[in-house]
Structure 1
Amino acid sequence: MEFILIDDSAFDLFTQEKLLLKSGLARSVKAFSSAQLAMNFLEEQTENFPETIILLDIQMPGLNGFEFTRQYAHLSPALRQRIKIFMISSTVDTDDIAKVRSNPYVIQLLSKPLEIPVLRALMSQ
């Protein structure tokens, strides 16, 4: 499976990439320190884009996770059907949690630090 990591924390990007590769869950990982850079990358992709999981941080400067999903909604349906988004955060803000649960593009909110067994179980569903 291909993964895209979107997080403004260099530490989180580094540790998540290493965990995903070492666990065998990821064939490749693309890491973006900005949601806007990730969106720019996705806008350049075609329908031949590989099946991909995005791990998206909520709180980021510039384009945050929720704003990213609003722009994501404008990508082609053929591209969106090849992508699964999980938000990942250490938030305990009930408003953020409610927004994630009501977001049609997000499968689930995962806690930081990333837990590979939890992600593996969700991927097998």
Structure 2
Amino acid sequence: MEFILIDDSVFDLLTEEKLLLKSGLTDTVKSFSSAQEAIKFLKEQTGAMPETVILLDLQMPEINGFEFTRHFAEMSEEMRKRIRIYMISSTVDSMDIEEARDNPYIIELLSKPLEIPVLRSLLGE
């Protein structure tokens, strides 16, 4: 299983990547500091996409996590069914939490900092 990290915080990207690699959940992590870069990467994938988990930050400049899922919705069904999206945020805004809960592409809203035991449980590992 591959992981894609999308977060405008370089610190969070580095921390989450190290946690994921040390956890044994994966040996492949791709990091993007903007949602636009990640969207471009996904659209360029031509072959079968491996099983992938995206950890998506909510609050980012230009394209936030919710806007990313609107772009994701336009991708092929074949790609979407191989990708699971978990939003990760430090938000306490009830509107953000409700929107994440209602979004059909977001499996779960995880709190920052990333807790590997919680993620492992959600992934059934």
Aligned to 2:60: 60
Aligned to 1:103: 103
Please state how far the C-alpha of 1:47 moved relative to its aligned partner: 4.8
Q: Distance in 2 between matches of 1:27 and 1:87?
A: 21
- One-letter code aligned to 1:51: E
The answer as to whether partners of 1:90 and 1:111 remain within 8 angstroms in 2 is yes
What secondary structure is seen at the aligned counterpart in 2 of 1:84?
Answer: strand
Q: TM-score, normalised by structure 2?
A: 0.98
Q: Distance in 2 between matches of 1:46 and 1:5?
A: 20
Q: How does 1:42-53 map to 2 (within 5 A)?
A: 42-53=42-53
Unaligned runs of 5+ in 2: none
Q: Which aligned runs of 4 or more in structure 1 are off by greater than 3 angstroms?
A: none
Unaligned runs of 5+ in 1: none
Q: Encode CA deviations 1:6-57: one digit per residue, 9 max, x unaligned.
A: 0000000000000000000112000000001000000111351110000000
Q: Distance in 2 between matches of 1:15 and 1:111?
A: 14
Aligned to 2:72: 72
Q: How many residue pairs are counted as aligned between the two chains?
A: 125
What secondary structure is seen at the aligned counterpart in 2 of 1:49?
Answer: coil
Instruction: Mark the CA change 1:47 to 1:81 in structure 2 (over 3 Å): closer, same or farther.
Output: farther
Q: How does 1:1-125 map to 2 (within 5 A)?
A: 1-124=1-124
Q: Distance in 2 between matches of 1:47 and 1:75?
A: 14
Q: Distance in 1 between matches of 2:6 and 2:44?
A: 17
Query: What is the aligned-residue identity percentage?
Result: 68
